[in-house]
């Protein structure tokens, strides 16, 4: 396959699914240890969802979904990462993103994305992103329009995703500080979920390099689960609190400008099979 011919897209409105072939991951997607970063993983999943939803015959009929005075936010995410994700054999080779809508609710729905290496014929990661429809001004959840529910609701499958509860930050934890910038933001001009994930991984890497978090290795991470509870704008300061709980590494991102937690994540090293 010639990268110049990509993306190659197939969309099925009957099953609310898409299959998109992308050029793959390259040097800019690597961390200093030459491993694929979780930020690149999240951005690739995000790119496949955006392409699928904005394709001329897209999976999601956005005009029916959003309507006037509303917008959509990522509320939570759950990733399963497989060992082949860290194998350099799939770098610079095309990857296939399969995305499907599921679990349509009153104010939210989910998109399940699976990334497959065409070179290795192996699943690299799988994720479920929960998306909520909110009022553009108040940011409060608002119901999905009946027209959208009636047009797609009967076609969707369901998928169980482990529930994540809000965590309390312990007094004894490590701290790393960040300043959000425009490069971290999406078209709504606030930090998106892939950038929040990058802040968490960056915090862990900085602490490991400074010998404050011995034993951390991103290639041992098998699951990532996160919840979004607030917005961050360019120029605002974030405090990342990092601590361990058994086999997991926990993160809390606190917005010092708005004085609230905006994101929490858990990196797990145990193999899972939820997706």
111-154 confidence digits (pLDDT tens): 889 999 988 899 999 999 998 999 988 989 999 887 777 666 55
Partners of residue 252 on adjacent β-strands: 241, 264
Assigned token pair, 11: 């969309």
Are 50 and 100 members of one domain? Answer: yes
pLDDT at 37 over 80: yes
Are 143 and 168 members of one domain? Answer: no
Are 12 and 120 members of one domain? Answer: yes
Tens digit of each residue's pLDDT (9 = 90 or more) over 180-239 = 999 898 877 889 889 999 999 999 999 999 999 888 888 899 999 999 999 999 999 999
Q: Starting at the edge strand that comes first in sequence, how are the strands of the sheet with 108-117 ordered?
A: 8-12, 17-22, 95-102, 108-117, 122-135, 70-81, 223-228, 260-268, 248-255, 237-245, 174-179
In the chain, the number of structural domains is: 2
Report the CATH number at residue 101. Answer: 3.10.129.10
Residue ending a domain, among 122, 137, 158, is 158
Are 169 and 275 members of one domain? Answer: yes
pTM: 0.88
Are 34 and 121 members of one domain? Answer: yes
Are 135 and 174 members of one domain? Answer: no
Are 114 and 171 members of one domain? Answer: no
Residue ending a domain, among 113, 130, 158, is 158
Are 186 and 249 members of one domain? Answer: yes
Distance CA 79, CA 123 (A): 12
Tens digit of each residue's pLDDT (9 = 90 or more) over 78-109 = 999 998 888 878 888 888 988 888 777 789 88
Are 97 and 171 members of one domain? Answer: no
On whether the CB atoms of residues 59 and 99 are closer than 8 A, the answer is yes
Are 100 and 218 members of one domain? Answer: no
Residue ending a domain, among 108, 132, 158, is 158
Are 130 and 202 members of one domain? Answer: no
Domain span including residue 242 = 162-275
Are 238 and 127 members of one domain? Answer: no
Backbone angles phi, psi at 135, to 5 degrees: -70, 135
Q: In this predicted structure, what is the pLDDT of residue 151?
A: 64
| Closest-CA residue to 103 (of 142, 130, 143) | 130
Q: How many CB atoms lie within 10 A of CB 37?
A: 21
Distance CA 245, CA 81 (A): 20
On whether the CB atoms of residues 173 and 239 are closer than 8 A, the answer is no
């Amino acid at each position: 396959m010639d990268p110049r011919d990509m993306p190659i897209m197939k969309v099925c409105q009957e099953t609310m699914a898409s299959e998109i072939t992308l050029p793959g991951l390259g040097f800019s997607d690597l961390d200093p240890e030459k491993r694929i970063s979780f930020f690149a993983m999240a951005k690739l999943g995000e790119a496949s969802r955006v392409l699928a939803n904005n394709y001329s015959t897209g999976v999601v009929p956005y005009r029916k979904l959003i309507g006037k005075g509303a917008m959509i936010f990522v509320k939570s995410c759950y990733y399963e990462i497989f060992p082949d994700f860290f194998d350099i054999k799939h770098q610079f080779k095309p990857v296939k993103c399969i995305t499907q809508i599921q679990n349509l609710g009153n104010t939210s729905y989910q998109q399940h994305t699976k990334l497959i290496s065409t070179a290795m014929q192996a699943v690299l990661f799988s994720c479920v992103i929960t998306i909520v429809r909110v009022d553009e001004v108040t940011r409060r959840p608002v119901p999905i329009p009946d027209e959208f529910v009636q047009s797609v609701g009967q076609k969707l499958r369901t998928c169980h995703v482990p529930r994540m509860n809000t965590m309390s930050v312990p007094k004894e934890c490590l701290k790393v500080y960040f300043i959000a910038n425009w490069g971290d933001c999406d078209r709504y001009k606030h930090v998106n979920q892939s950038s929040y994930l990058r802040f968490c991984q960056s915090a862990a890497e900085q602490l490991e390099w400074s010998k404050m978090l011995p034993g951390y290795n991103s290639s041992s991470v098998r699951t990532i689960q996160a919840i979004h509870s607030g917005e961050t704008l360019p120029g605002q300061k974030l405090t990342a609190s990092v601590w361990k709980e058994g086999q997991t590494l926990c993160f809390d991102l606190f917005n010092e400008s708005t004085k609230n937690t905006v994101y929490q994540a858990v990196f797990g090293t145990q193999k899972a099979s939820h997706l």
